[in-house]
């Protein structure tokens, strides 16, 4: 089924299942092109075609402004400790940093050209490295070490120079300085996977097996949340990745694949569904990056 036919299919389903205010009959269907990380790593165009694919599993990734791909590669034969790589669209490797512990679970290209990443293992840590692989920032994460896989996920460097780190099994999101000092934290109702600092200072947090997304203010108070209780069906199953779009809508992964094969869902601030993505593959989307809407690139670099 093409993306356009798929969207029409979802609109029929949702018009029957959701309150009439959720969709206007004369509203053109939304399309998105997006990058997906997970067991399958690819870019899908707005019309449903896969236009780029990487043969390895990934934990995190970005389409950079120059069109290259920055990927946090899952551990495997080539990278037993995981890795961060930058590739051109034709597969030429421009950068590689091999993990030294169990996993590399996140990667971010920084405005100064450096790469930020986290390592999971006996000594969980956050690193910044330059393009020659020299370590410039290195501090330990204050987290449990009994379960290495559940130490941290989508960490991001903030405009203030600090780092926002979701710590799954600890059920906490922490903000660290470059020296490793904790200057802010919030406890979460379930395992936090993605934490995004929004322009107003709030923080969006995707809670995996909680099947929910919360938004907290600077004091840690929940000011907005979304769960399957707000939706006509259980479309969210394992809410891993997330992205807040420039129009204020929120896109969430359903990594465990929700009902009717749901893998991505977009909702408005008042929790109306405006777009969903599904396909027949058995692999969920671990994290993602929405690239355009109805063929128009998103302004600036998405905050995620």
Q: Annotate 107-165 with three-state secondary structure.
A: EEECCCCCEEEEEECCCCEEEEECCCCCEEEEEECCCCCCCHHHCCCECEECCCCCEEE
pLDDT at position 27, please?
62
Closest by alpha carbon to 145, among 176, 168, 127? 168
Taking the alpha carbons at both ends of the chain, their separation in whole angstroms is 29
Residue with the two structure tokens 């299942």: 17
SS3 214: strand
Assess contact for 195 and 170: CB atoms under 8 A: no
SS3 201: coil
pLDDT at position 18, please?
33
Q: Which two three-digit tokens encode residue 279?
A: 């396909």
Closest by alpha carbon to 69, among 84, 93, 56, 87? 87
* 126 vs 283: CA distance, rounded Å: 28
Chain centroid to Cα 118, Å, comes to 15
Q: How far are the Cα atoms of 31, 231, 248 from residue 22, in angstroms, in the given order?
A: 16, 11, 16
Closest by alpha carbon to 96, among 133, 62, 121? 133
* 94 vs 100: CA distance, rounded Å: 20
Query: What is the per-residue pLDDT across 250-301, written as a single tens digit (0 to 9) for each?
Result: 999 999 999 999 999 999 999 999 999 999 999 999 999 999 999 999 987 6
Alpha helix segments (H runs only) across the chain? 3-17
Contacts of 149 (CB under 8 A, 6+ apart): 102, 103, 120
pLDDT at position 34, please?
98
* 127 vs 163: CA distance, rounded Å: 10
Q: Which two three-digit tokens encode residue 118?
A: 């986290």
Residue with the two structure tokens 């389903």: 13
Beta strands (DSSP E) in 55-111 are: 58-63, 69-73, 83-87, 93-98, 103-109
SS3 22: helix
Query: What residue ranges of the chain have pLDDT lower than 50?
Result: 1-25
pLDDT at position 81, please?
97
pLDDT at position 180, please?
98
* 301 vs 249: CA distance, rounded Å: 16
* 224 vs 217: CA distance, rounded Å: 9
For the chain, state the CA radius of gyration.
19
Q: Which CATH superfamily is domain 3-297 in?
A: YVTN repeat-like/Quinoprotein amine dehydrogenase (2.130.10.10)
């Amino acid at each position: 089924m093409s993306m356009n036919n798929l969207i029409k299919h979802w609109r029929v389903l949702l018009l029957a299942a959701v309150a009439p205010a959720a969709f206007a009959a004369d509203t053109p269907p939304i399309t998105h092109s997006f990058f997906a990380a997970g067991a399958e790593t690819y870019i899908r165009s707005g019309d449903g075609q896969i236009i780029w694919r990487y043969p390895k599993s990934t934990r995190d990734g970005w389409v950079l402004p120059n069109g290259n791909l920055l990927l946090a590669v899952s551990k495997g034969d080539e990278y037993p400790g995981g890795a961060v790589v930058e590739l051109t669209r034709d597969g030429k490797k421009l950068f590689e940093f091999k993990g030294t512990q169990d996993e590399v679970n996140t990667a971010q290209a920084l405005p100064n050209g450096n790469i930020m990443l986290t390592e999971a293992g006996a000594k969980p840590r956050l690193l910044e490295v330059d393009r020659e692989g020299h370590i410039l920032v290195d501090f330990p994460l204050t987290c449990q070490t009994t379960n290495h896989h559940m130490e941290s996920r989508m960490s991001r460097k903030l405009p203030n120079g600090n780092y926002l780190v979701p710590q799954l099994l600890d059920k906490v999101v922490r903000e660290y300085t470059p020296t490793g000092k904790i200057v802010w934290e919030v406890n979460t109702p379930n395992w936090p996977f993605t934490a995004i600092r929004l322009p107003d200072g709030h923080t969006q947090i995707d809670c995996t097996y909680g099947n929910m997304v919360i938004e907290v203010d600077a004091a840690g108070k929940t000011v907005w949340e979304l769960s399957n209780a707000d939706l006509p069906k259980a479309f969210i199953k394992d809410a891993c990745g997330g992205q807040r779009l420039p129009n204020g809508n929120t896109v969430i992964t359903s990594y465990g694949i929700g009902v009717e094969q749901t893998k991505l869902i977009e909702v408005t601030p008042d929790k109306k569904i405006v777009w969903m993505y599904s396909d027949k593959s058995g692999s969920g989307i671990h994290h993602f990056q929405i690239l355009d809407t109805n063929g128009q690139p998103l302004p600036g670099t998405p905050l995620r």
